[in-house]
């Protein structure tokens, strides 16, 4: 029996939100062992997300949550390296939902699946190979100023002995959110493991992983970290100048 893979997606309203979520929903339609924990950065659960899940036939295999990123969240004035982290509040709410609702006796997986990346269905077959109590890792394309950011393996042992990251390589785990997944056993074993506002840019991954694993305990996947099965794509901001002109006349193109 395949482990359930809880895919945690923070998401927020913008013109292309529905397009992003529709694209992601097709992964879930193809893979019955996934459960989508979709967390809206919003004061309410929206009909857009509810209807999308329903139309994709995912109502039973998804959980719709919401928590708004506090607008009052302030950066520290004297530290120019601090920027607003994205998805912290939402991912932490999902972690607490998983700790409450997942079966602690079963071997399951948690993956942090941002809504704008591009995922191969093959990636999820790789995640299913994660051993109980371990963190699986693999390469991520188009991130950190490189074509591929990836773990580097020892030639003899095939264990992770480093990373090829060029951006902030001094991070404890210089990998992207899309480059790892976690055995749920670790979430129950280390209840304090979470994301935090109190870390520098690029340190969210290290912030949770430092509680859960060491570099050498990481489980390399995707053909010993040679295959790229996920890409950190980003969607450009939609230009709506003509729509705004319409709105001024009291009209909308999508009514
Ligand atoms: N996100 C969010 N609220 C925000 C900004 C982002 O919930 O105010 C979500 C977004 O939908 C995505 C994740 O957080 O699933 C990461 O955001 P983004 O893709 O903008 O980050 P980047 O790719 O630049 O690291
Ligand atoms: Mn992104």
Which tens digit of pLDDT belongs to each residue from 162-219? 999 999 999 999 999 999 999 999 999 999 999 998 898 999 999 999 999 999 999 9
Q: Is the CB of 20 under 6 A from ligand 1?
A: no
Q: Is the CB of 23 under 6 A from ligand 1?
A: no
Tokens 């390469």, located at residue: 139
Ligand with minimal distance to 16 CA? 1
pTM, two decimals, is 0.96
Atom of ligand 1 nearest to the CA of 116: 19
Tokens of 178: 């899309």
Which residues are identified as catalytic? 205
Q: What is the Cα–Cα distance from 226 to 126, expressed in whole angstroms? A: 12
ipTM above 0.95, yes or no: yes
Q: Is the CB of 115 under 6 A from ligand 1?
A: yes
The number of residues making up the chain comes to: 255
Exposed e or buried b for every residue in 99-112, given b needs 16+ CB within 10 A? eeebeeeebbbbbb
* Residues in CB range of 86: below 8 A, 6 or more apart: 10
Q: What is the Cα–Cα distance from 225 to 216, expressed in whole angstroms? A: 14
pLDDT of res. 218: 98
Q: With contact defined as beta carbons under 8 Å apart, do 25 and 56 qualify?
A: yes
Tokens of 197: 């506002």
Host H or E run for residue 184: helix 184-189
Among 41, 87, 232, which residue has the most ligand 1 atoms within 8 Å of its CB, making it the best to mutate?
87
Ligand with minimal distance to 9 CA? 1
Q: Are strands 62-66 and 34-40 parallel, antiparallel or unpaired?
A: parallel
Q: What is the Cα–Cα distance from 95 to 83, expressed in whole angstroms? A: 23
Q: With contact defined as beta carbons under 8 Å apart, do 41 and 60 qualify?
A: no
Q: With contact defined as beta carbons under 8 Å apart, do 64 and 38 qualify?
A: yes
> What do you get for the CA distance between the two ends of the chain, in Å?
46
Atom of ligand 1 nearest to the CA of 39: 7
Q: How confident is the model at residue 84 (pLDDT cuts 50, 70, 90)?
A: confident
Which tens digit of pLDDT belongs to each residue from 57-79? 999 999 999 999 887 665 555 55
**Mean predicted confidence (pLDDT) in 85-106:** 96
Q: With contact defined as beta carbons under 8 Å apart, do 3 and 107 qualify?
A: yes
* Residue whose CA lies nearest to ligand 1 atom number 14: 87
Which tens digit of pLDDT belongs to each residue from 236-250? 999 999 999 999 999
Q: Are strands 5-11 and 34-40 parallel, antiparallel or unpaired?
A: parallel
Atom of ligand 1 nearest to the CA of 41: 7
- 61 burial (CB, 10 Å; 0-12 / 13-18 / 19+) is middle
116 CA distance to ligand 2 middle (Å): 5
234 CA distance to ligand 2 middle (Å): 5
Host H or E run for residue 78: none
């Amino acid at each position: 029996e395949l482990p359930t893979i809880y895919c945690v997606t923070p998401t927020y309203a913008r013109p292309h939100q529905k397009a992003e979520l529709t694209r992601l929903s097709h992964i879930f339609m193809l893979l019955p062992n996934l459960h989508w924990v979709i967390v809206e950065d919003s004061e309410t659960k929206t009909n857009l997300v509810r209807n999308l899940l329903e139309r994709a036939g995912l109502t039973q295999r998804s959980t719709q949550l919401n928590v708004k990123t506090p607008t009052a969240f302030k950066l520290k004035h004297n530290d120019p390296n601090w920027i607003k982290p994205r998805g912290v509040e939402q991912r932490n709410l999902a972690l607490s939902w998983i700790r409450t609702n997942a079966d602690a006796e079963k071997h399951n997986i948690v993956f942090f699946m941002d809504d704008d990346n591009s995922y191969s269905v093959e990636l999820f077959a790789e995640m299913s190979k994660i051993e109980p109590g371990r963190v699986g890792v693999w390469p991520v394309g188009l991130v950190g100023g490189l074509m591929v950011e990836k773990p580097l393996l020892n030639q003899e042992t095939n264990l992770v002995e480093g990373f090829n990251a060029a951006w902030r390589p001094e991070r404890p785990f210089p990998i992207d959110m899309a480059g790892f997944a976690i055995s749920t056993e670790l979430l129950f074993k280390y209840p304090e493991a979470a994301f935090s506002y109190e870390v520098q840019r690029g340190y969210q991954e290290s912030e949770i992983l430092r509680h859960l694993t060491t570099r050498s305990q990481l489980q390399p996947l995707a053909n010993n970290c040679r295959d790229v099965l996920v890409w950190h794509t980003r969607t450009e901001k939609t230009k709506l100048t003509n729509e705004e002109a319409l709105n001024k006349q009291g009209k909308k193109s999508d009514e």
